[in-house]
Structure 1
Amino acid sequence: MDGPPTSSSHGSVAADVPDQGETSGHQSDTPSLRTLNPKLEEIHKEVESDRKEMHNVQLEIPKTEIDDLNHKLTEAIRVNSQLVSQNKFLQKDLDRTKGDLEKVNLDLEECKSRLSRKMSNALTENNTQITDLSDSNRPSKLGEKHSELYDNEWTDAFEELVKKYETDESAIKTLLAILKDVHTFCEVKSAEQSKQLRQVACMWNEELERESYTLQTPVKEFRKYTAELGVQAVRKDYYETEKTKNLEFFSKSKKRKYIDGCLKLCWLMNVQDPPVIFADAAAPNSDFNTVLYKPYTCSGSHVDYVV
């Protein structure tokens, strides 16, 4: 009974030990692996070589491109610098040209202005047919101011004078005499001012003053444009004359306003070029000229007296 199990046990152990044939088979595989190892190493070396070569190529290509780009950038900077310099030069040249053009335009405008003034002066010099419409004291406007003086200040002064005189005609003749006297005074003052302006321009050099015909037009224009300023000085001089400063007549308010109005009107008339004048008074019983006069209180064909 104990025999078979022992036999089986020995059989199991014997089965675990490889036979001679199997051992020989494993030993026959070993030379094949050793033969493959050198080939693998060779392949590995080739792969490493190719990898290094590819790495070098990758490094060389970007460097070449960078150098090319740097060269192009340097060239672009150089060209840009040249263009900036050229632009600055052209800008300076343009500014200089603009300045020259502006100066030429100013000179041209000045020439046009001088030519226009000369042509205007040539046309208007002592020519009553051509009127400067920009002048607020042109003859037509002075005519309107004369009518306003008659309607206002003259009427108020007449109402005061008529109380003193026996007739209206006496008061009217007094007011007319004042107007004539003021006009004569302004004629004298106007001539004095014109001479004084030429003297100032020539520095009181009599020889230059005699040859100062070129100042004639500028002096006339100056007097015309400063006429309103001169009214106060003329008025002051008139009231300081011997015939007026001590007379009570000239201190009355309404009469004084009439004289002030006459002074302003007559001064503005005398600074015109040519001066504006009053027509000669019509003689009594002469034909009534409707172009120069208008009726006072009644109409008729002959003049009684001038207002």
Structure 2
Amino acid sequence: MKRTNVERDLKEKKKIAMGLEKKENDNYTENQQLKANLKELDSVYRTLAKEKKQVEQYAKNMEGYLKDEKRKSDDEYKKLLAERDDLRDRLSKLAGKKLQEQNADIPDLSDPYRAMKLSEKFGQIYDDEWTNAFESLTYKKPGLPLKEAIHVLIRLLQECWMFCNNLMTTQMDSLQNVFLHPSQNLANFDQKKTGLTERPRVTSKDQLSLKDLRNRVGVSPSVIEEVKQALLADSKTWDKREKKEFDKKHIEACTPYIQKCAEICWLMALHDPPLVMKMEVKPGEKFDTNIYTVYSQSGQTIDFLVWPPLYNGKDGGLLSKGVAEPVKVVNKKK
């Protein structure tokens, strides 16, 4: 019985041992499988981490690229807007210029030297410098008679106008000569050796460009000052002319008036079209109140001109009225 019990116990223990061994084998197999799975997961994790890093770098690069593209796009947009505005302004100026060329009475309101502004400056000279010059000519001993003093002031204005127009013509000729003859040494220019059959000429289109350049530069303060100084130097010779229209002391007394006349005449000559003063007034001509204002007395006909009316070009409209002295009307006694 003891033997039988021992054998039975041994079988049970052996059976338990085999079960434990089998369980251990199963656990080992499972453990190995888990290790293999963990290794695979670790590999997948490293791959995903690498891909994540690549995606993040790509996203970062794309963000920078998109920022650069946006900046470029914004810059291009601003450039296009600027070009559009520039073209629009140029088109507007061109249209305005063509409209002005067709009708001189249409002003360019962006131009500080437009006709109406020059007309105001012209009238201001009569109110200020003309009055002072008139007093210098009539009140200082020996003073000139009223009519003679006014004639001197009108003639001084005419001389300033002629001087500025002649100076402008000379300047344009010089500009054309510089462009046509770069060397400025025509004595050494042999037309036969060059094989040229005709001399170069400035086309009407190029002449307009030169004129536009001259007009833009001509309004600068330094140029205006040079014109005034040149005219003052020329005025010193006016008393030596054959007709003896001017006296040296009278010219000196009117120096501020001459300087202002030089400035306004230069600017009026630069204007396109040039402003025109109507100087041709004959005694006995009908006094037109639409063109003239009375100087000191009323009347139906003109005795003499005091200050000329100003027109916007040869065929343009009236910018400012002139001043004239009518012939005094004498009432006949019955």
90 and 157 in structure 1: CA distance in 2 versus 1, 3 angstrom threshold: closer
Distance 1:135 1:99 in 2: 32
The aligned counterpart of 2:176 is 198
Shift of 1:191: 1.1
Aligned-partner residue type, residue 146 of structure 1: F
Aligned-partner residue type, residue 227 of structure 1: G
The aligned counterpart of 1:122 is 98
Tell me whether 1:236 sits opposite 2:236 in the alignment.
no
91 and 290 in structure 1: CA distance in 2 versus 1, 3 angstrom threshold: same
Tell me whether 1:174 sits opposite 2:162 in the alignment.
no
Distance 1:292 1:257 in 2: 27
Aligned partner of 1:131 among 107, 110, 118:
107
Aligned-partner residue type, residue 270 of structure 1: A
208 and 50 in structure 1: CA distance in 2 versus 1, 3 angstrom threshold: farther
Q: What SS does the corresponding residue of 1:125 show, helix, strand or coil? A: helix
Shift of 1:305: 1.3
Asked if 1 retains the 8 angstrom alpha-carbon contact of 2:180 and 2:201, the reply is no
The answer to which of 131-140 and 67-76 deviates more is 67-76
The aligned counterpart of 1:5 is none
The aligned counterpart of 1:302 is 301
Distance 1:98 1:200 in 2: 45
- Highest Rg: 1 or 2? 1
Identity %: 24
Deviation track 1:1-35 (CA, whole Å, cap 9, x = no partner) reads xxxxxxxxxxxxxxxxxxxxxxxx98986555444
The answer to which of 265-274 and 232-241 deviates more is 232-241
Asked if 2 retains the 8 angstrom alpha-carbon contact of 1:179 and 1:262, the reply is yes
The aligned counterpart of 2:166 is 188
Distance 2:260 2:302 in 1: 26
Aligned pairs for 1:8-87 (under 5 A) are 32-68=8-44
Distance 1:103 1:27 in 2: 110
Shift of 1:303: 0.9
Aligned-partner residue type, residue 287 of structure 1: K
104 and 28 in structure 1: CA distance in 2 versus 1, 3 angstrom threshold: closer
Stretches of structure 2 lacking an aligned partner (at least 5 in a row): 187-197, 241-247, 307-334
Shift of 1:270: 0.5
Shift of 1:243: 1.2
The answer to which of 175-184 and 243-252 deviates more is 243-252
Tell me whether 1:285 sits opposite 2:277 in the alignment.
no
96 and 258 in structure 1: CA distance in 2 versus 1, 3 angstrom threshold: closer
159 and 232 in structure 1: CA distance in 2 versus 1, 3 angstrom threshold: same
Q: What SS does the corresponding residue of 1:240 show, helix, strand or coil? A: helix
Higher relative contact order structure (alpha carbons within 8 Å, sequence separation ≥ 6): 1
Q: What SS does the corresponding residue of 1:304 show, helix, strand or coil? A: strand
Asked if 2 retains the 8 angstrom alpha-carbon contact of 1:286 and 1:303, the reply is yes
The answer to which of 90-99 and 137-146 deviates more is 90-99
The aligned counterpart of 2:311 is none
Shift of 1:181: 0.9
Aligned length: 281
Distance 2:73 2:121 in 1: 54
Distance 1:39 1:102 in 2: 91
94 and 274 in structure 1: CA distance in 2 versus 1, 3 angstrom threshold: same
Shift of 1:289: 1.6
Shift of 1:257: 1.0
Distance 2:71 2:176 in 1: 44
Structure with higher helix content = 1
Shift of 1:40: 2.9
Asked if 1 retains the 8 angstrom alpha-carbon contact of 2:176 and 2:202, the reply is no
Distance 2:147 2:252 in 1: 22
Aligned pairs for 1:215-230 (under 5 A) are 215-229=206-220, 230=223
Distance 1:92 1:78 in 2: 21
The aligned counterpart of 2:264 is 265
Shift of 1:198: 2.6
122 and 199 in structure 1: CA distance in 2 versus 1, 3 angstrom threshold: farther
The answer to which of 105-114 and 140-149 deviates more is 105-114
The answer to which of 159-168 and 114-123 deviates more is 114-123
Shift of 1:92: 9.7
Q: CA RMSD in A?
A: 4.2
* Length-normalised TM-score, structure 2: 0.68
